[in-house]
Amino acid sequence: MEMAQLSIQVHCRKCSRFAFVDKSDYDHLDKMTCPFPGCRHTWCKNCQQEITSNGPKHTCDGSSELKHLVKQMGWKHCPRCKTPVQKTGGCNHMTCVTPGCNSHFCYRCGKQIARSPIPFVVSSAIAAHYRQCSM
């Protein structure tokens, strides 16, 4: 009974072992580190996600990790809705498929080219943009 009042049992998903940690220490921590030698796995106490020492600052919603990945991979953002975009091939004309956006933009320079559902308007804007794109 006394052990339960002073400590909390935690489970490490990496080594699959259980350990008791001091309750007052646990209450003041944002992250947990497995106390067993040879493991030392670290995870967020709130969301249970792994935290790496050489990775980006942890956020439970993943926003910091996503920003780090976008920068690391060299991805661009839609100039209208800011959704990350990865170019995997083809030309530099991008069409954002985020619901409600439908922005056409240049992957190379990042400028919005058009925002129209009319194919003729879009193709004319694309041709005009690539005649003068500075990149």
Q: What is the pTM of this model?
A: 0.60
**Mean pLDDT of all residues in 54-68:** 86
**Around 70, how many Cα atoms within 13 Å sit in the side-chain half-sphere?**
13
Nearest to 101 by CA among 124, 77, 128, 120: 77
Mean pLDDT of the chain: 90
Q: Looking at this protein, which amino acid is placed at residue 66? A: L
Supply the pLDDT for residue 2.
Answer: 60
Given a cut of 90, whether residue 56 has pLDDT beyond it is no
Report how far residue 89's alpha carbon sits from residue 64's, in angstroms, rounded to the nearest whole number. Answer: 27
Supply the pLDDT for residue 84.
Answer: 94
pLDDT band at 117 (very low <50, low <70, confident <90, very high): confident
The pairing of strands 112-114 and 104-106 is antiparallel
Nearest to 52 by CA among 69, 74, 37, 33: 33
Residue tagged active-site, from 60, 91, 109, 133? 91
Q: Does 91 participate in catalysis according to the annotation?
A: yes
The DSSP-derived string for 26-58 is: HHT-SEEE--STTT--EEETTT--B--TTSPPP
* pLDDT tens by residue, 93-115: 999 999 999 899 999 999 999 99
Which sequence spans correspond to the domains of the chain? 7-55, 67-131
